Structure 1
């Protein structure tokens, strides 16, 4: 038996490089997955690459839209049942030095 057999994990930022690797490792350990990202095409590409040995749902969602988080969690719970873990991998950056960022850019990166 694998250590995460049938445990449900929510993975945010799933469509990026680290997210894809985390999804693969979670699946290898037997986890069911709720993949969350703003990138619909990236989510579907990831879902297609994962072994279909356990249920996987994709959820296109921008985590900055905090008012929608309860609905997202409810949708995941309805689809899968109890949630066993969360890997919060979502994030973004502005490609310049911290000191040269505007306040709006800092808010975007730190939010």
Structure 2
């Protein structure tokens, strides 16, 4: 999603293959309704979106403690992007995130 809307993608600061990290979420994002503001998620990636290239149409909805973008949302459309795996057992609130996504009206 980030790349599709023009963001630059670069190598992540650290490889995060099969690792769990806490993220802070935007409580106003419908995907995270009913989830804690800070929650552990599964990460399996070596790339990251560069925040300096964030377009006006997207807003960051989740990030790690060190500021890496973990979630974005389009400001006008029901378009979301996640840089973690809600379907993983390492994401305890993942089922809720998926259910929230499936309940979207768009």
Class of the TM-score when normalised by the shorter of the 2 chains: under 0.3
Higher helix share: 1
State TM-score, norm by structure 2.
0.28
